[in-house]
Amino acid sequence: MNRRAGKFARIIIPSPLKEPLVYRLTDELRHQVAPGMRVVVPLGKRKLTGIVLDLIEETDVAGTKEIIATQDEQPVLDVKLLQLSRWIARYYSTALGQVIGTVLPPSLKSESERTAVATSSDFAGTGALEKKILQAIRSKKGGMRLKALQRSIPGSGLYPTLERLQSNGAIEIRDRWPGQRTRHAAPSVGEVSPPKSQPTLTLTAEQASVLAVIGERLENGGFETFLLHGATGSGKTEVYLQVMERVRQQGRRSLILIPEISLTPQLIDRLNGRFPGRVGILHSALTGSDRSSQWWQIARGNVDVVVGARSAVFAPLPDLGVLIVDEEHDPSYKQEEGLRYNGRDVAVMRGKLSNCPVLLGSATPAVESYQNSLQGRYRLLQMRHRVQERPLPSIEIVDLRTQLQEPAPRETEQAASLGNTVEGEHDQDGLISNRFAELLKENYKKSRQSLIFLNRRGFANFLQCSTCGYVLRCSYCSVTLTLHLDRKNLCCHHCNFRRPATRVCPECSQLSLSGMGVGTERIEKSVHRLVPEARIARMDRDTTGKRGSHERFIRRWEDGDIDILIGTQMITKGHDVTRVTLVGALLADLSLNLPDFRAAERTFQLLTQVAGRAGRGDDPGQVVIQTFSPDHYAIKYLTSHDYPGFFASEIEFRRELNYPPFSRLINLRIDGPKPDKVEAAAKLLAARLRLSQRKATRLSDVEILGPAPAPIRKLRNRYRWQLLLKGDPISALLDLAQHARAHLPRSHSTRLQIDVDPYNML
Ligand code: ADP
Ligand code: ZN
């Protein structure tokens, strides 16, 4: 390793601290410390874990303190991950400490997981302190946590003494990774099945030509981003697997990101089948020590493939040969709290820094990605046909304005009050058209499986008083409370506030509250009445709270133990079940009518994905899309499976309103507990930004929109205003965001959140 012996080191504490701190290196440490290593440093009265950013010869900082000790023999972050972290800090306008705090698994950020273990009983120790420490460590069979040692042996002598004892061979300092409790590199998700061996399939012509192009890049080396636009069921996964196989043959490693790991047990099976014992799975349900053990396994090159959701983009794989992002358009790649990064975009940058190809795959690429491919920044690869000449499902649109059994849900629900709905007087609750009801019964009779998609959980969307019109709202958020009959309560879907369900109006005290608007729970009841003999299951956030429940649902669905599966968007993703021949999307308008410039794109993507679940076996698939807006372009192009057609309309809309990809966006959100303070701060901030803008010509093209209250005005008892920066280039917007951070009127309760390339602006 090429270590430059500096006199000082800049250290990042993995927490939202702004600047790196400078520490002095002792002569001894100078030859051990390298960038990316964890070290113990004093900060005030505490001893903290820090990461070495770089080594420097000189510093202006007076009175630097010494680094106490190193924590590992090898860096936890390699040079590339450090570079990536610095890019992220700049691009997402965040402190580097916060970035590194996100990159590292929690247990590696503190001392809590490190244990000193006695390795030999020969050494008696010299000096009182050594003896005392040895005694303490030897008294515990499994070793002693450094945290506990620090408590029982205060003072600065601990770490140097531990170092000495370690070099004498008397003790060993271990993280909780292999050795102490050896773990298999791949604790599988859900029920562990002995991995079945998976044959490598003979590729279709389309798959083969895609693989040839990527294979050539792999052979020649270097960075390039591919956008694989492949129809649902065209065999994208097989392409990923064979790309990873080639990378493995080159002695390099692959990283594959998927939107949600628990929804894709099939992919995990296929990976385990192809790369037995060589797959690292980064699952958010892993406990702290499992996660740090995974981290070390991966960093030491003990796996060839890592699979995981968004944050797996930071997996410390050495010799990265390819990064793959499946369903690259999926909004779950965007982290919406803390460090607000987009895992897909970070993957592309990581590929660039690692000088290896990046493969983005989707049946419905993000508008930005497709535009990138048209402009030559990404290379477009296409697979238009399903494997084995299976047809794409036929999609028909049901116009809810004319084809509902009853007029429209809003009116029909007047009668559906809490009580009489439970009795079940209503057969269809207004959201299952006659056409779809017939198809559903028919499909059941043929012993085939049906999928029903409604992107709203609960029984009724809100409760309204039929006497005075009062609507029940969350006490902490400016949204309505959703009725859950299962649990007999009302629940806020934003902050989880709950109260018992009631029919008494808090405003006029009449017994006249009734449920309005349909959710999955209500549809489940309707479907039971419609097809009473069928095995029906509902999959949404209310039914998947327990660990492993996602996998259990998907496995039951695969095994054919469910005839009709009803659910929210979690049922739209990934699964490949051959007996599913009917899919119904009950209310396309839910996503279409959101106040968000991506509403049409999101709707087209969701509906194409859910439709794509149908007809993946020998029997063709049929899809029914119900909507009040059958003429909307996001709906029209669905029936012809025409993504380019949809894109052409959508890109025109974006161009007209100068939305991405024609401009860039940064959302500045100001929130706090006092509505007047938040409003004042937002207005002052806007005025100051406009002033900064007037002073600098390079900022003059940036539009500053607002300030305005956020669509969800209050969330978790905090009032919210926002300012949208819109324009080009992103560096000008970032400059303004920096100004905003510096200019926000000082107050301990009012916060500013900077959201670069925002997805959720509600
Ligand atoms: P996508 O990810 O594009 O929706 P999948 O990769 O899930 O599609 O493939 C759909 C189905 O086709 C899967 O059951 C898969 O095993 C099968 N398949 C993929 N490629 C081939 C092939 N070359 N020959 C035969 N079957 C294939
Ligand atoms: Zn709430």
Task: Report which protein residue has its CA nearest ligand 1's atom 19.
Answer: 235
Please tell me the residue having the least CA distance from ligand 1 atom 5.
235
Going by C-alpha positions, the residue among 606, 604, 564 that lies closest to residue 581 is: 564
Taking the C-alpha atoms of residue 455 and residue 520, their distance in angstroms, rounded to an integer, is 8
Q: For residue range 477-520, what is the model confidence (pLDDT) as tens digits? A: 888 899 998 888 999 988 889 999 989 999 999 998 988 888 99
- Strand pairing category for 115-118 and 46-56: unpaired
DSSP-derived pairing of the beta strands 305-308 and 358-362: unpaired
Q: Which of 210, 248, 202, 243 is nearest to 227 (CA)?
A: 210
CB within 8 A of 423, min separation 6: which ones? none
User: Sheet harboring 65-66: ordered strands across?
Assistant: 65-66, 21-24, 8-12, 46-56, 38-43, 69-70
* Ligand 1 atom closest to the CA of 204, numbered from 1: 23
Answer whether 390's CB lies under 8 Å from 233's CB: yes
* Ligand 2 mean position, distance from CA 329 (Å): 28
The helix-helix angle for 730-743 and 79-91 (nearest 10°) equals: 70
**Nearest atom, ligand 1, residue 236 CA:** 3
Ligand nearest to the CA of 237: 1
Q: Pick from 244, 266, 576 the residue to mutate for probing ligand 1's pocket: most ligand atoms within 8 Å of its CB.
A: 576
pLDDT of residue 214: 98
Among 273, 275, 264, 268, CA closest to 303: 275
Which protein residue has the closest C-alpha to ligand 1 atom 20? Answer: 235
Compute, in angstroms, the gap from residue 522 CA to the centroid of ligand 2.
22
Ligand 1 atom showing the smallest separation from residue 207 Cα: 23
Substitution candidate for ligand 1 out of 203, 237, 575 with most atoms within 8 A of CB: 237
Residue 287 and residue 176 in contact, taking contact as beta carbons nearer than 8 Å: no
Instruction: State the Cα torsion 220-224-227-230 to the nearest 10°.
Output: 10
Ligand 1 atom nearest the C-alpha of 383 is: 3
The answer to whether the beta carbons of residues 396 and 624 sit under 8 Å apart is: yes
CA distance 189 to 603: 30
Quote the ligand 2 centre to 550 CA distance (angstroms). 25
Give CA–CA dist 279/31, Å, rounded.
35
Ligand 1 neighbours, Cβ below 6 Å, are 201-204, 207, 230, 232-238, 387-388, 576
Structure tokens at 443: 């499909």
Are residues 122 and 171 in contact, defined by beta-carbon separation less than 8 angstroms? Answer: no
Ligand 1 atom closest to the Cα of residue 576 is 7
Which ligand 1 atom is the nearest neighbour of the CA of 234? 3
Distance in Å, CA 204 to ligand 1 centroid: 10
Q: Whose CA is nearest to atom 9 of ligand 1?
A: 235
The one-letter amino acid at 101: G
Measured in Å, residue 478 CA sits from the centre of ligand 2 at 7
> How many Å lie between the centroid of ligand 2 and the Cα of residue 193?
40
Give how far Cα 222 sits from Cα of 84, 134, 321, 376, 530, Å. 17, 51, 9, 16, 57
492-519: burial string, b at 16+ Cβ within 10 Å, e else: bbbbebeeebeeebeeeeeebbbbbbbb
Nearest ligand 1 atom to the CA of 363 is: 3
Residues 281, 309 contacting (CB under 8 angstroms): no
- CA 454 – ligand 2 centroid, Å: 22
Quote the CA–CA distance of 134 and 125 in Å, as a whole number.
7
Cβ count near 102 (within 10 Å) = 18
- Tell how far CA 723 is from the center of its chain: 25
DSSP 355: T
Nearest CA to ligand 1 atom 23: 203
Give the span between the Cα atoms of 424 and 368, in whole angstroms: 47
3-class SS letters over 647-703: HHHHHHHHHHCCCCCCCEEEEEEEEECCHHHHHHHHHHHHHHHHHHHHHCHHHCCCE
Alpha helices (H) along 427-579: 434-445, 520-530, 549-558
| Distance (Å) from CA 237 to ligand 1 centroid | 7
Mean pLDDT by 10 residues, the chain (762 residues): 64 80 89 90 86 89 88 88 95 92 80 70 81 87 78 73 78 52 34 63 95 97 98 94 97 96 86 93 75 85 95 95 97 93 98 98 98 97 93 93 57 41 44 93 96 92 90 89 89 89 91 89 93 95 86 90 94 85 94 90 96 91 95 95 97 96 96 93 94 89 93 92 94 94 81 94 84
- What is the Å distance from ligand 2's center to 713 Cα? 11
Q: Say if CB 371 and CB 233 are below 8 A apart.
A: no
Q: Whose CA is nearest to atom 4 of ligand 1?
A: 233
Tokens of 560: 């054919």
Q: Give CA separation, 686 vs 682, 704, 706, in Å.
A: 6, 8, 7
* Position in ligand 1 atom list of the atom nearest CA 203: 23
Alpha-carbon span 309 to 327, nearest angstrom: 11
Identify which ligand lies nearest to the alpha carbon of 580: 1
Per DSSP, helices labelled H in 462-540 are: 520-530
Name residues whose C-beta falls within 8 Å of residue 518's C-beta, 6 or more positions apart in sequence. Answer: 409, 413, 429, 430, 431, 454, 456, 460, 461, 586, 587
Give the residue, by CA position, lying nearest to ligand 1 atom 10: 233
Task: Find the ligand nearest to 473 CA.
Answer: 2
* Ligand having the closest approach to the CA of 499: 2
For residue 239, how far is its CA from the centre of ligand 1 (angstroms)?
A: 9
Which residue's entry shows tokens 């509505």? 675
Residue 67 and residue 163 in contact, taking contact as beta carbons nearer than 8 Å: no
Q: Whose CA is nearest to atom 18 of ligand 1?
A: 235
- For residue 221, list its beta bridge partners: none
Which ligand is nearest to the Cα of residue 198, counting in written order?
Answer: 1
How many CA atoms, within 13 angstroms, populate the side-chain half-sphere of residue 330?
23
* Contact (Cβ atoms closer than 8 angstroms) between residue 749 and residue 677: yes
480 C-alpha vs ligand 2 centroid, how far in Å?
8
Q: Tell me, what's the pLDDT at 413?
A: 42
Distance 52 CA to ligand 2 centre (A): 41
Interval between CA 226 and ligand 2 midpoint (Å): 41
The three-state DSSP-derived secondary structure of 578-623 is CCEEEEEECCCHHHHCCCCCCHHHHHHHHHHHHHCCCCCCCCCCEE
Cα–Cα distance measured from residue 57 to residue 130, given in angstroms and rounded to the nearest whole number:
34
Q: Report which ligand 1 atom has the smallest distance to the Cα of 230.
A: 3
Residue 639 Cα to ligand 2 midpoint, Å, equals 38
Most informative mutation of 238, 324, 330 for ligand 1 (most atoms within 8 A of CB): 238
Q: For 509, left (φ over 0), alpha (ψ -120 to 50), or beta? A: left
Q: Give the residue, by CA position, lying nearest to ligand 1 atom 14.
A: 576
Note the pTM of the prediction, 2 decimals. Answer: 0.86
For the record, the structure tokens of 504 come out as 């008494």
Q: Is the dihedral of CA 574, 760, 282, 80 positive or negative?
A: positive
Coil vs helix vs strand at 290: helix
HSE, side-chain direction, 13 A CA sphere, residue 418: 24
CA contacts within 13 A on the Cβ side of 724: 20
| Helical packing angle, 643-656 and 599-611, nearest 10° | 170
Ligand whose nearest atom lies closest to the CA of 618: 1
pLDDT attached to residue 39: 92
Residue 240, φ and ψ in degrees, nearest 5 = -55, -45
Q: Tokens 């969701």 — which residue?
A: 606
In this structure, the chain runs to a length of 762
How far, in Å, from the CA of 259 to the mean position of ligand 1? 19
| Residue 428 · residue 523 · CB < 8 Å | no
Instruction: Evaluate whether 611 touches 623 at the Cβ level (below 8 Å).
Output: yes
Identify the nearest ligand to the CA of 388 by its number. Answer: 1
Tokens representing residue 325 in the block: 């992002």
Q: What is the pLDDT of residues 316-368, one digit of tens each?
A: 999 999 999 999 999 999 999 889 999 999 999 999 999 999 999 999 999 99
Predicted local distance difference test score (pLDDT) of residue 327? 96
- The answer to whether 238 touches 244, Cβ cutoff 8 Å, is no
